Structure 1
Amino acid sequence: MEQNEFDHDLNIDRLGPATVPSPKRVMRYTADDERVIAATDPVAIARQLAAGQAPASFEAAGPREFLFFNPDGLRAGIVTCGGLCPGLNDVIRAIVLSLYHHYGVREIDGFRFGYEGLNPDLGHEPLQLTPDGVEMIGELGGTILGTSRGDQDVTLMVDTLVARNVRILFTIGGDGTLRGAAAIAAEIARRNLPIAVVGVPKTIDNDISLIERSFGFVTATAEARRAVQAAHNEAEAARNGIGLVKLMGRESGFIAAYSALADSQVNFCLIPECPFTLEALLPALAERLRQRGHAVIAVAEGAGQQLVGRDGARDASGNVKMGDIGLFLKEAIKDYFAARNVSISLKYIDPSYTIRSLPANAYDSAYCLLLGFNAVHAAMSGRTNLVVGYWNNHYTHVPIPAAVSRRKQIDPEDWLWTSVLLATGQPRELV
């Protein structure tokens, strides 16, 4: 990442001094002054130090020796928002287990259907979450709390928290969810209420800024690899076979990129960050067929939007609705070769909803557990308006305003995209 990506206030808001001894004795507490260096380039760090500047750093996550909240009689709430993602239930389970077993919190509301659950006018009664109730939910895809998209009246949502005496709200979601969490935190601060808001980063696209990896991404990439393998098998088994796979990735092509790296079976990886034209892509595809007799294309859903055209309509989360680049390419490829009297066998695979509704794999499940634990540690210490992150092998606290300040994307000049080009053999420019 560029150095200016760290030009944000990375200090974490607190509700007040932490004076309550933690009931959980651990081998090691995290000190309040522990930091995780943000930049990884030693030259840039040396330059900052020479100029008398402290390198940008995140507050380290982890259990604190002293808490802001007294666990006795404390009530917490959990909400899941946006699209489904592997690991949602794992995070719910981790938060419940940590609240209950680490801190003795017995009252945990699971608000139903996203932020709708905080709007009393919609009548969604919260679930009462217990360790027994969440014991096996990690084996399930989706979310036991349900989800939704779209805004709700922030004043009504905070009124609900006050009416139910909820002192901690955990929001599990992506960019839109975090913006909603920031709005809730701002309204809480305006009213000077002792309520903490802590986010957990959920987005299958892995596009939250200042967070190395969002949960569910590893599972999504593993399943996308299966789709790519199927497309490769189909393509290789036919004369002039083409496997076309559309993967999730509205503005960031991480799933497509890592799927291309997994087995080196992808010959063309198309992502939103790198524009392409049919005039460049289709002749390159024809040359690949001439040389090797088959080809595999992985395209992120947000790629090539200048080709399909968009009417500016937005979904309930405020995102611009994407044109279907997968179906567009399918027809464009068929028309191109038909016009040249070249017979092809094209198989189109769109595993998007299959991928996002899966249970998390073992790696993501462990990651979800630690994200959930660290979210609880942060909230109990009185920290608020933050999302738990992961950076350079450390769990971190990231202010929500910094996390949503920009979309994390693949840098076409960075090592990741260079590696994709080497793995696929596609031309550097397809324009």
Structure 2
Amino acid sequence: MTPAPPDTSIPTLGPCRFPSPLHHFGTVEAPFKTETDRILYHSHLLEDGRDVSTPSYEEAGPREKIYFDPPKTTVGIVTCGGLCPGLNDIIRGIVMRCHHQYGVARTYGFRYGYEGLVQRYGHTPLLLRPNSVEQAHHFGGTLLGSSRGQQDIGEMVDTLEDMKVDILFVIGGDGTLRGAAEIVKEIERRGLKKAVVGIPKTIDNDIRFLDKSFGFETAFDAAVQAVKCAYVEATGAVNGVGLVKLMGRDSGFIACYAALAGSNVDFVLIPEVKFELEGDGGLLESLRLRLLKRRNAVIVVAEGAGQHLMETGDATDASGNKKYGDIGQFLKDRINGYFKSRKTEVNLKYIDPSYIVRSVPANAQDNVYCSRLAQSAVHAAMGGKTGMLVGRWHGSFVHLPLELVIHGRRKVDPTQELWHSVLECTGQPAVMK
């Protein structure tokens, strides 16, 4: 069972004195929330019957009193890291809510990730208005641009001060949120009253203590199409093998869900479950037996799987993440070499749809999810919440402290139902050694 989070309290900038504009939004009273509205962390009992319902999250939603005076408030938005379906939906949602629901004075979009918060790079911020973002959700990517890599925290906070930005919305993954936590610390060190609210973005769905991250459903939907193509290629040739590499550095959720949705996959390889190539129980021999039985096979591999099989060294990327070897190309060469050594015909087609998967526009379900995440983020920030992110837990939108989620990633648990569903669906050996 997942351990309870140690502390779920959310910092606030101070007392909220301004009546929310949502009092006057239409004829229906807004569903205001208070700090006593909580979402339970656990939804069940422990095995020994003890009630563990005490840990809880602060529920997201509008507050009756807000911290910032909207006509005097300036908002900033930044998108960092790799692309992900739904980024433009989040940007659009924030701009629309700030302008229409709260009447915020100015909303700036900082270009090319955290670089845009460092003035010496010369990236001029965009002034975002409803008419400039109203069609943004129809397009993939991010209209603000993105980048990877660490920037000087002091310089970024200098920019926020110079532009009189009161609220910064940070949209990004694990490294981006760690950067946001450092920005919060620098703001507090200077004694400033600025809110920093994160919206977690990771195509790998690996943010801890959340049901899911935005863009994931769109991503695995696109991945399913690649898996279907691999199946068609595999069935169209003698001993056909369709090999598909999907995103997932440390978590294999996309690979698992794409295999379950496609239902024509024979092997799923993920970072959480080690496998070997050689030997009677290895992948190569298991593949040979599968081809003898069915004459074709489809393999789905997450990008972070099988790294122990390759010499990757200690090189890192701009964000400080270890550079991984190309497991897709590695498997392609080893599979072809194995069957060639046995003088057995094999027709392998290798598909890597990574940039297609992450660059498509969000589907309808993610579109709605992004809209509600943006809405929750704006409500939190206007209420003076800071050092936090918004997400969904047990179907409800909640506030989580940044410090809670930046230490570690959510992973597929090989002992739980998801991985066992994959094993049942594929029929692959539970252990390939």
User: Normalization by structure 2: what TM-score?
Assistant: 0.96
Rounded Cα–Cα distance in structure 2 between residues aligned with 1:390 and 1:399: 13
- CA separation of 1:191/1:251 partners in 2, compared to 1, >3 Å: closer, same or farther? same
Question: Which residue of 2 is the match for residue 81 of structure 1?
Answer: 80
Aligned counterparts, 1:45-56, within 5 A: 46-48=49-51, 55-56=54-55
AA matched with 1:35 = R
Q: State the Cα distance separating 1:231 from its structure 2 match.
A: 0.2
Rounded Cα–Cα distance in structure 2 between residues aligned with 1:149 and 1:205: 17
Q: Which runs of 4+ in 1 moved over 3 A?
A: 43-46
Rounded Cα–Cα distance in structure 2 between residues aligned with 1:391 and 1:36: 8
Q: State the Cα distance separating 1:46 from its structure 2 match.
A: 4.9
Q: Deviation digits for residues 160-193 of structure 1, max 9, x if unmatched?
A: 1011000000000000110000000010011111
- CA separation of 1:44/1:113 partners in 2, compared to 1, >3 Å: closer, same or farther? farther
Out of 416-425 and 7-16, give the one that drifted further.
Answer: 7-16
Rounded Cα–Cα distance in structure 2 between residues aligned with 1:92 and 1:175: 19
Question: Which residue of 1 is the match for residue 423 of structure 2?
Answer: 421
Question: Which residue of 1 is the match for residue 11 of structure 2?
Answer: 13
Q: Is 1:174 matched up with 2:173?
A: yes
- CA separation of 1:57/1:45 partners in 2, compared to 1, >3 Å: closer, same or farther? farther
How many residue pairs were aligned?
425
Task: Report SS of the residue matched to 1:14.
Answer: coil
Q: State the Cα distance separating 1:7 from its structure 2 match.
A: 3.3
Rounded Cα–Cα distance in structure 1 between residues aligned with 2:403 and 2:229: 41
Structure 1: unaligned runs, 5 residues or longer = none
Question: Which residue of 2 is the match for residue 60 of structure 1?
Answer: 59
Q: Deviation digits for residues 41-81 of structure 1, max 9, x if unmatched?
A: 323695145xxxx6211111111111011112210000000
Q: State the Cα distance separating 1:20 from its structure 2 match.
A: 1.1
Question: Which residue of 2 is the match for residue 382 of structure 1?
Answer: 384
Does the CA-based 8 Å contact 1:45-1:55 persist in structure 2? no
Rounded Cα–Cα distance in structure 2 between residues aligned with 1:272 and 1:24: 46
Task: Report SS of the residue matched to 1:277.
Answer: coil
Rounded Cα–Cα distance in structure 2 between residues aligned with 1:88 and 1:3: 29
Does the CA-based 8 Å contact 1:269-1:298 persist in structure 2? yes
Does the CA-based 8 Å contact 2:98-2:378 persist in structure 1? yes
Question: Which residue of 1 is the match for residue 32 of structure 2?
Answer: 29
Task: Report SS of the residue matched to 1:278.
Answer: coil
Question: Which residue of 2 is the match for residue 335 of structure 1?
Answer: 337
Question: Which residue of 1 is the match for residue 190 of structure 2?
Answer: 191
Does the CA-based 8 Å contact 2:211-2:395 persist in structure 1? no
Structure 2: unaligned runs, 5 residues or longer = 24-28
Task: Report SS of the residue matched to 2:81.
Answer: coil
Q: State the Cα distance separating 1:27 from its structure 2 match.
A: 3.4
Does the CA-based 8 Å contact 2:22-2:30 persist in structure 1? no
Rounded Cα–Cα distance in structure 2 between residues aligned with 1:136 and 1:101: 16
Rounded Cα–Cα distance in structure 2 between residues aligned with 1:8 and 1:124: 39
Task: Report SS of the residue matched to 2:21.
Answer: coil
Q: State the Cα distance separating 1:148 from its structure 2 match.
A: 0.4
Does the CA-based 8 Å contact 1:12-1:397 persist in structure 2? yes
User: Normalization by structure 1: what TM-score?
Assistant: 0.97
Identity within the alignment, %: 53
Does the CA-based 8 Å contact 2:31-2:61 persist in structure 1? no
Rounded Cα–Cα distance in structure 2 between residues aligned with 1:318 and 1:428: 33
Rounded Cα–Cα distance in structure 2 between residues aligned with 1:48 and 1:154: 43
Q: Is 1:3 matched up with 2:11?
A: no
Aligned counterparts, 1:28-427, within 5 A: 28-43=31-46, 46-48=49-51, 55-279=54-278, 280-427=282-429
Does the CA-based 8 Å contact 2:231-2:242 persist in structure 1? yes
Q: Deviation digits for residues 318-343 of structure 1, max 9, x if unmatched?
A: 11001000000000000011111110
Rounded Cα–Cα distance in structure 2 between residues aligned with 1:351 and 1:85: 13
Rounded Cα–Cα distance in structure 1 between residues aligned with 2:318 and 2:396: 34
Task: Report SS of the residue matched to 1:378.
Answer: helix
Does the CA-based 8 Å contact 1:3-1:39 persist in structure 2? no
Rounded Cα–Cα distance in structure 2 between residues aligned with 1:214 and 1:382: 24
Q: Deviation digits for residues 291-318 of structure 1, max 9, x if unmatched?
A: 1110000000000001122111110111
Does the CA-based 8 Å contact 2:80-2:146 persist in structure 1? yes
